[in-house]
Amino acid sequence: MPTTSPARPSTPTRRGFLAGGLAALTLSSGGAAWALDRYVVDHVEVADASAYEASQGSTGAELDTSQAVLTDDSWSADGTTITVKEVTTGSGDQPVTYFVADLVLSDATVLRSAFADDSFGTNIVDETSDIAGQNDAIFAINGDYYGFRETGIVIRNGVVYRDAGAREGLAFYRDGRVALYDETATDAASLVDDGVWNTLSFGPALVSDGRVQSGIDDVEVDTNIGNHSIQGDQPRTAVGVVEDNHLVLVVVDGRSTGYSAGASMTELATLMQGLGAVTAYNIDGGGSSTMFFDGEVVNRPSNGGERGTSDILYVKG
């Protein structure tokens, strides 16, 4: 399949944009220091997250990759298969280009999460490809950018990092199930006890019980400075569930006339449904939307290059 490995962006990263924009916005009101501290300065709560997870006794499946098979658009090892394809629909000035990764997992815990700088906290960012490289990933997508907010349940690789339920989340279980859930109706410890391996906290839910959800084009996420809405045609990243241990992960490119206009939330939901997803969930998009496979970024991030993010989902190769 065609792949693109963009150069580093000449436009500001998200952190740079926030630093400049927030400072300009708040200097006159005396709030610049607060804004920079809240949205820009790293706040590390857990350094060396990998060691922390090991100390908690949380382990996942290890693939035997000695017999791995790699082609231009697929990789398989030890019963796990990843197939990546590029699709373009439409024509003229409004085509839509998206990338689909079909994952069949031999064990649910093969799909892992990793933090930027291997550290949990707010405002800690790195590019998806760099986080992937640091974790020997054969495949990765950007995560939910947990570090931009202070709410949401964050369970990663079976370990609780944050327990502040605020919205509808997505839970990946060790037995291969993936389910939508109400963060405010439970707690992180109970989820881990029930076998949850990873959670994502963003939204909205796109597809539930095989049906496209209504009203999703009017949803706002994180209605604060710098991340007001997710409406309109935008670059997107989504997770879809076909059945236990069978996922479709999608990145839609956007904001590029003649290449890809992006997708509305309902268009994304319809796309996920068409790929066979009975459950689908929206995660961080826009400039963050990135898919990495076999050492390259295969899509075209809308910033002209990758934007830093807090976390990734990946499969180690």
Residue of higher predicted confidence among 216 and 27: 216
Query: What does the pLDDT look like over 57-91, one tens digit per residue?
Result: 999 999 999 999 999 999 999 999 999 999 999 88
Residue 287 sits at φ, ψ, to 5 deg, of -65, -15
pLDDT at 5 exceeding the cut of 80: no
Find where tokens 């990843």 sit: 82
Residue 59 sits at φ, ψ, to 5 deg, of -130, 150
To the question of pTM greater than 0.75 for the whole model, the response is yes
Residue 271 sits at φ, ψ, to 5 deg, of -60, -45
Q: How confident is the model at residue 9 (pLDDT cuts 50, 70, 90)?
A: very low
For residue 213, the model assigns a pLDDT of 98
- Tell which residue, 54, 51, 79, 55, has the closest CA to residue 65: 79
Q: Which residues pair with 281 in a beta bridge?
A: 205, 239
Distance CA 296, CA 280 (A): 25
Taking residues 200-215, report their average pLDDT.
Answer: 97
Taking residues 195-203, report their average pLDDT.
Answer: 98
The percentage of the chain sitting over the pLDDT mark of 90, rounded to a whole number, equals 80
For residue 42, the model assigns a pLDDT of 73
Q: Are 171 and 179 in contact (CB under 8 A)?
A: yes
DSSP SS3 for 135: coil
Q: Which residues pair with 294 in a beta bridge?
A: none
Q: How confident is the model at residue 223 (pLDDT cuts 50, 70, 90)?
A: low
Q: How confident is the model at residue 307 (pLDDT cuts 50, 70, 90)?
A: very high
For residue 20, the model assigns a pLDDT of 43
Q: Which residues pair with 152 in a beta bridge?
A: 164
Taking residues 294-302, report their average pLDDT.
Answer: 97
Taking residues 99-103, report their average pLDDT.
Answer: 99
